[in-house]
Structure 1
Amino acid sequence: MSNGYGALRQAARQFWLAWVVGAAMAVAMVVLAVIEDLPVRDPDDDLLPSYIRMPLIVFAAILADILPRVLHRARLRSTWAPRALGGLWREVVAERWPASHWWFAINGAIAWYLTYATFRNIKSMAPHVNGADWDDAMADIDRFLFAGHDPAGVLHAWFGTDVMTYLMSAVYILWIALIPTSIAVALVWTRHTSAGAWYVTAVALDWCIGCVLYLLLPTLGPIYADPGQFADLPHTYNTTLQEGLWTDRVAVMADPWAADTLQTIAAFASLHVGIMMTICLVARLVGLPRWIQRTCWIFLALTVVATVYLGWHYVVDVFGGLALGAVAVWLAGLATGNRVGWRVQLSSGSAGSASPAHHEELVSRSRPLPDHPAAD
C-alpha cells in the first residue's frame, strides 16, 4: 500500500502543472458557462462518451505494449500452451507495468484529457464571450508580409490546385491522429517518464495558451472570412471537414443549447503548428533518434504549408503557433525539472523513471531475458 501511495504521489508531482492548468481551465469554463449562459459538453460525444472512450484508448495502448512481447517470447520459447502464455503475460506485465508506471500513465492521461475537454469547450464559448473579429487585421498583416499578395493565393500559384490539394489535405488530417498517438507513446510506451511528463505537460500548456488567445483575438481564418480565394480547390475530406465545422458554428451561434455540439472555429494561433513545434522541440531536447527528429521537422514544415494553403490559418497564425509551442516546451521543462533556465537537464536516474529497467531509454523495449541467447 505504501509503495502504491508513493508511486501515486510521484506521478502527481510529475504532472503537477498539467493538473493545475487543467483545474484552472475547468474553473474558467464553468465561470464562462454561467456568465454567458452556455452549455458544457463532451467534446467528442458523436463517437463514444468520454468515460467509455478514454479507458478504451488507454487499455488499447497498454495491450499494444504487452501483447506483442508475450507473442515474441512465446515464439522464442516455442510454447503456446494457455498456462505458458499466462505465465508469459504475468512476466511481461511485472516487467513493463509496475504500480509506478500504472500511476504515471493514469495521471498523465487524465490530466491531459482534462485540459483537452475544457479547451474544446472554452474554444466553443470564445465568440460568445468576445464578439470582435480580427480577420481583417490578420489578413492585412499577411498581405504586408507577402508584398500585397494573399499567402494562400501565392501557394496556389506555386504548387497548383490539383494533386497538392490532396497532399495538403492528407497532412492536415494526419495531424489529428498524430496527437493521441504521441500521447500514448509518452505515457505508455516510453520508460523515461521524465521525458513523457515534459511532453504531456507541454501539450496541456498548448491547449491553455490557445484558449487565452482565442478569447482575446477571435478570428475565423481565411477559408471562412474569404472563401472565394479557395473556390478553385478540388473537393477533399478537408473540404467536408471545413463545411461541417461551419455548420456546427452556425448552429451554436444561433442557439448553443439546442445545437447539441461545439463550435471549433478559431484561427489565432494555429495549434496544429503549435503542437507540432512542441513535438519537434521535445524530440530534439530529449535526444530521440535523428530520423525521428528529422521526420518531425519535415512534418512541421508540411503542416505550416497545409494550414495556409487550405485556408485554415493566416501566416501570422503560424508565427503565433510556433511561439506558443516553444513557450509551452520551456515552461513545461521548468515545471517537470527538465530545464534550468534555457539549459536542458533531463533526468536520467530512477527518480525520474517509473520503471527502473531502461530508465535511460526514450524509445522503450523489453529488457533482455534468459530466452535471448547471449553472444559467444
Structure 2
Amino acid sequence: MFIYFILDRKNIRLRYQFLLTFLSSWFVIGNIMAIFLSSVGPVYFNHFYEQDYYLPLMQRLNALNTELNGGFMHLWSLDVQQILWKTYVADASHIGSGISAMPSMHVTISVLMAMASFRLNKNLGYVLWIFAFCIQIGSVHLGWHYAVDGYVGALSVAILWHFIGYLLRKHLVSI
C-alpha cells in the first residue's frame, strides 16, 4: 500500500493523505503515544509482575506450537517474542525491537490501509477491513497485545486520517 501511494499520481489528495497519515502515525502513535502509554503485552507480563494472568494463554500457545512442530509448521510468533525479550534483557536497542504494547502499530497501520483502500476501491476496502479485524484478533490471541491496545491504535489513526484529510481539503484547494 505504501509503495502504491508513493507511485500513484491519479488521486494526489488521497496520496498525500495516506502518506502523511502513515508518517504521522509512526511519529505520533508509534513514538510519542508509545512512550506515554508504555506497557508490556501479555506475553511479557510474567517478567514484570508476580501474578501471571496470561500463563494459560502462553501455555496454550506453546502446546499448539508443539502440535504444529509435528507437521510442517510452527508458531513463529513465539520465536519472535523470545528474540524481542532477549534483546530487551541485553539492553540492546534496535528498530522494531521494543516490547511495548500500547498502542498497537500493527492494528494502526492495517486500519490506515483499510481506510485508504476503501477510498480507492470499496471491494478492496472491505477485504482490508477484514484483514485489520484479523490483525486485531490475532494480536490479542497470540499474546502480543491487550485488546485496548488495538482499539487505541485504530481510534488514533482514524483521528489522524480525518485531521490530515481536513487540512488537505482546507489548504490544498488546487489539488
The TM-score range, normalised by the shorter chain, is: 0.7 to 0.9
In the alignment, the residues of structure 1 paired with residue 104 and residue 128 of structure 2 have an alpha-carbon distance, to the nearest angstrom, of: 17
CA distance in 2, matches of 1:312, 1:190: 37
Residue number in structure 2 paired with 1:123: none
Residue 159 (structure 1) aligns with:
none
Q: Which 5+ residue runs of structure 1 have no aligned equivalent?
A: 1-181, 253-258, 341-345, 353-376
Query: Displacement, 1:201?
Result: 0.4
| Match for residue 318 of structure 1 among 139, 150, 157 | 150
Structure 2 counterpart of 1:276, one-letter code: S
Find runs of 4+ consecutive structure 1 residues off by over 6 angstroms. Answer: none
Amino acid paired to 1:197: Y
* Greater RCO (CA < 8 Å, at least 6 residues apart): 2
Answer whether contact 2:5 2:15 (CA < 8 A) is retained: yes
1:297 equivalent in structure 2? 129
User: Does 1:221 pair with 2:41?
Assistant: yes
Instruction: Report if aligned partners of 1:223, 1:311 keep a CA contact under 8 Å in 2.
Output: yes
The 5 Å alignment of 1:119-134 reads none
CA spacing shift, 1:208–1:222, aligned 2, 3 Å: same
Residue 327 in structure 1 maps to residue 159 in structure 2: yes
Q: Tell me what 1:231 maps to.
A: 59
The CA RMSD measured in Å over matched residues stands at: 2.1
- How many residue pairs are counted as aligned between the two chains? 153
Q: Distance in 2 between matches of 1:244 and 1:328?
A: 32
Give the conservation status (yes or no) of the 8 Å contact 2:110–2:132: yes
Which residue is equivalent to 1:273?
107
Displacement of 1:267 after TM fit? 0.7
Aligned equivalents of 1:206, 1:188: Cα separation in 2:
20
Percent identity over paired residues: 23
Shift in Å at residue 190 of structure 1?
4.5
The answer to whether the Cα contact below 8 Å between 1:205 and 1:332 also exists between their aligned partners in 2 is: no
CA distance in 1, matches of 2:163, 2:27: 12
Task: Name the aligned partner's letter for residue 331 of structure 1.
Answer: F
* TM-score (normalised: structure 2): 0.78
Match of 1:264 in 2: 98
2:4 maps to which residue?
185
Amino acid in structure 1 at the alignment position of 2:7? V
Q: Residue 270 of structure 1: CA displacement?
A: 0.9
Structure label with greater radius of gyration? 1
Deviations 1:105-164 (A, max 9, x none): xxxxxxxxxxxxxxxxxxxxxxxxxxxxxxxxxxxxxxxxxxxxxxxxxxxxxxxxxxxx
Secondary structure (helix, strand or coil) at the match of 1:264 reads coil
Measure how far apart 1:281 and its partner are.
2.0
AA in 2 matched with 1:199 = F
What TM-score does the superposition give when structure 1 sets the normalisation length? Answer: 0.38
Quote how far apart the aligned CAs of 1:323 are.
Answer: 0.9
- Distance in 2 (alpha carbons) for counterparts of 1:321 and 1:261: 22
CA distance in 2, matches of 1:183, 1:304: 20
2:82 to 231, 240, 243: 243
